Structure 1
Amino acid sequence: MTEKQLKATVKTTACGGVPGLVLKVTKLKDGTMAKYFILRESTLNRIFTLGRYPQMSLAEAFKKAAEWKAKIKQGIDPSEEEKALKASLRKKSAQSDDRLTFEQLIYKWIEFNEARGRWNNPNKPKKDVWRGFFRNHIPDSIRMLPVEELTPEMFAAALSEKWRTMIDTPERILSDARQAIDWAIRSELIAPMLNPAQVKDGKLGDLLPLMRAEGGHEPALPPKRMPLFFAELMKLVPVSQTARCLAFAILTAARNSTAREATWDEIQQDDEGNWLHVIPRGRMKVKSEKIPFDRKTPLSPQALELLNTAPRIGLDSNAFIFPNINKGKNSPFTRDSVRALIKRMHDKQKSIDGIGWIDPDQVHAKTGKPRIVTLHGCARATFNTWAKDAKGYGHSKFAKDLRESCLDHRNESYQCAYDREQALGDMREVFDAWGEFCFSAMKRGK
């Protein structure tokens, strides 16, 4: 079974890979589907529940199933072993009296910083981020342990594989953990100790693998290929909110979270009746302490049409424009959802032209193959490359300051100090021309 098949399946199915590993699909009372990984062991005539999807990934299910099979062969009951470990951790946590567990510390640290005005994004509360970290990445052996008993070896064992394969999640976890523990020491909530989450100049840095997932510049599509890419993307828009979100991000040169977390109350008209995406400065990369006004993006006719035809879930003004309805609640799509969409588009295009949607100037360090494009690369780098080449793409010449304003770039302190508003009229000309360019292959095909 692949991750794509797992997401699509609606009935109990064998996963393959490990004998007896099965995805069990159950329909709940509210009509939604719940998916669980189970391990059928014929020698014991027993069924073991491994975990629920998506809290447990397919890769984690394969790994756990293989480990439990090995233990069963040794005569060990892995489920009882797991229950005993959790009971021991709960008992140890209860016996710690007033000692803070790692989970308690994280939430205290978040509450302290939120009270000071930090992390003021209502669409992505820091507590929700950490609930996801605890659910998906941090084992109970760390979560429920008193902070004083944490060691670098524990963090390394829990996060080494993720450190090697994921770009930013393990770094965000360890950065927050280090800051929270340092704060607890300064606040005298715990006794002074060497910070077990310290990567740079810390023991944990010696334990984590040197090999990292590839970062660097986001892979971008050459502008000449954007019209064809957009034509293929628009075929998916009627049936995919993720595709609609990606198209909107490209047409507005938006950053990843700016597009995914857009809400209906951010779509506004100016005094002349022109439509804008007005993004609170707190949601932008460059915050209000540097720029005293919210970000405004003029909406081209093409971007506006995407909104006019978008299905609206609920009437709340702060509802997400591109909600992840598969979760059954008002939540945005994840970065992984957009990556998966682009990967499917790439695979399909590669079967047609042997190339797919890649950045020809970037290659994987390990495989040497071109890297598949990303939302950020297409919406930002491809847009900027197109915008600065007036003769090459047949549009008006756009000054550098205007291009930087479209990208919400502010680098020089004096520029930030004297800016009081964006050049919305000129920006509208840029985005209208960009929209025409993105849709040009569809017009030629008519």
Structure 2
Amino acid sequence: MRIAATMTEKRLRSLTKSTACGVVPGFWVSVKKLKDGSYRKYFVLRERTIGRFFTLGAYPELSLAEAFKKAAVWKDKIAQGVDLAEEEKALKMALRREKPSADVLTFETLIRKWIDFNEKRGRWNNAHKTKTEVWDGFFKNHIPEDLRRCPVTALKAEMFAAALGEKWRTMIDTPERILSDARQAIDWAIRGGKVPPMINPCQVKDGCLGDLLPLQRAEGGHEPALPVKRMPLFFKALMELVPVSQTARCLAFAILTSARNTTAREAVWSEIQVDEEGNWLHVIPRERMKVKSEKISFDRKTPLCPQAVALLKSAPRLFDDDSDEYIFPNINKGHTSPFTRDAVRALIKRMHDKQKKIDGIGWVDPDQLHAKTKLPRIVTLHGCARATFNTWAKDARGYGHKAFSRDLRESCLDHRNESYQCAYDREQALGDMREVYDAWGKFCCSMMEFPC
């Protein structure tokens, strides 16, 4: 008898054909191709003894871990002779009957009120993705309906542990972001008298939830960075892809400007400016930076080296008069959006696979090992653009450039942690920063036959 391999999240995301999930007999993923070319995936339990199929739910609304649990429970109930269709119908009717009245503050209502309150105060000003849109995704993909509709006063740490426990173990930062926002929203409701004083069920550190969540976490730590001496070869291979790949152009621009992931991917043409002396700058609104305007009053300015300017001059533009157009657009069905993090990771993975066939190494960080395989991890945009840059910048003698002070390097990275530094800074040292980026651009392109 053939035993199906256990389905994994990675395999499930790329699945294009219906297949068995393993572990629970008769548990399948049914894949339907839609008219727009995308795929919709449903978890199905097939019970041969009674000749019936049961749909458990759709992915990703129902996670793989939750589907495995549900399939096992339903399999047991079928063996006991329970009519699952009638049970599901009765459960839905009960949920409708138990729908909270308008004056009961549910978890979802609280989150939306908290977001609205803070947006009106100007706390978040991300024009590309609002906090509401972020939480729309959280509610759709990570928060079950019973938790969304639960009155705030009835929330328990056990409910959040049940909903997010598996994600806490397998996902790097999403569960932390959900619980951090939820904790702040509940604290806000308590302070404002919207709910009576209560123990915050979303408190992880020194809270009950911290005792319930798994100790095992997804692999995190520092972003894998390229050894500095390998950057010129990596950049040469990257630039060979730029004429045919906007993702490659975006990655190259991020490296030349030591940009954070989102800063590069969401850049628009209106942020590119030229000063009175003809120097090019990437002027990034402070709201798009990690350190916000509450601490620093001026926007971030990154001097562009000649190589970065050349990248922009050769970049295709869809509309010459549209300053809000993305510099590195992902075009899908006539609409443009920034490239996703996954698109950049996929590009680097393809580059790594190709290079590994050549030298047996690929593009990896030898000091960052994968938790399971113990092999060096593949580099990332953040690691190459920031850690590799900083390692190069602080070793003047090793890499043959002028010595750059720690404050200057931190300014290039937009690191502003000390309160006194934020208080006294009124502008960046753009002249000195330009010298750093010009030297960095020459180093990155030092193995290229032609100037980039």
Letter in 2 for 1:163: W
Matched residue type, 2:312: L
Q: Pairwise CA RMSD of aligned residues?
A: 3.2
Give the whole-Å Cα distance in 2 for the aligned partners of 1:226 and 1:60: 43
2:190 aligned residue (177, 185, 192): 185
Q: Decide which of 26, 32, 50 is 1:24's aligned counterpart.
A: 32
Is 2:323 the partner of 1:317? yes
> Bigger shift: 371-380 or 306-315?
306-315
Conserved? CA contact 2:369–2:377, under 8 Å: yes
Aligned counterpart for 2:218 among listed residues 213, 217, 224:
213
TM-score where L is the length of structure 2: 0.85
The unaligned stretches of length 5 or more in structure 1 are none
Q: Aligned-pair distance for 1:375?
A: 1.6
Matched, 1:290 2:295: yes
CA distance in 2, matches of 1:152, 1:426: 51
Q: CA deviation at 1:160?
A: 0.8
SS at match of 2:302: strand
The 5-angstrom pairing of residues 95-110 of structure 1 reads 96-110=101-115
1:250 CA drift (Å):
1.1
Select the residue among 232, 246, 269 that pairs with 1:241: 246
Q: 2:367 aligns with which of 361, 367, 373?
A: 361
Question: Which letter maps to 1:13?
Answer: K
- Using the TM superposition, give the Cα deviation of residue 260 of structure 1 relative to its aligned residue in structure 2, in angstroms: 2.1
Closer, same or farther in 2 for the Cα pair 1:119/1:368, shift >3 Å? Answer: same
Code of the residue aligned with 1:419 in structure 2: it is D
Q: Is the 8 A contact 2:155 2:201 kept in 1?
A: yes
Contact 1:36-1:50 at 8 Å conserved across structures: no
From the superposition, tell whether residues 40 and 156 of structure 1 become closer, same or farther in structure 2 (CA, over 3 Å): closer
Q: 2:399 aligns with which of 393, 398, 414?
A: 393
User: 2 CA distance for matches of 1:65 and 1:426?
Assistant: 62
- Structure 1 stretch 361-370 or stretch 125-134: which is displaced more? 361-370
Aligned to 1:134: 139
Letter in 2 for 1:374: T
Aligned pairs for 1:30-429 within 5 A: 33-37=38-42, 39=44, 41=46, 43=48, 75-76=81-82, 81-82=87-88, 84-94=90-100, 96-312=101-317, 316-326=322-332, 329-365=335-371, 367-429=373-435
Question: In 1, distance between residues paired with 2:60 and 2:448?
Answer: 37
Task: Give a deviation string over 1:90-112, Cα, whole Å, max 9, x none.
Answer: 43224x44111111110001111
- Partner of 2:126, secondary structure, is coil
Partner of 2:4: none
Matching of residue 434 in structure 1 with residue 449 in structure 2: no
Tell me: CA distance 1:21–1:396, structure 2 relative to 1, closer, same or farther (3 Å).
same
Residues 439 and 46 of structure 1, relative CA distance in 2, 3 Å threshold: farther
CA distance in 2, matches of 1:267, 1:217: 30
Cα drift, residue 279 of structure 1: 0.4
User: Which is worse superposed, 330-339 or 77-86?
Assistant: 77-86
Structure 2, unpaired ranges of 5+: 1-6
- Counterpart AA for 1:23: V
Deviations 1:405-446 (A, max 9, x none): 211223444443443322223322322222222233332899
- Does the CA-based 8 Å contact 1:185-1:191 persist in structure 2? yes
**Number of equivalenced pairs:** 440
CA contact (8 A) 1:277 1:299 kept: yes
Q: Is the 8 A contact 2:257 2:385 kept in 1?
A: yes
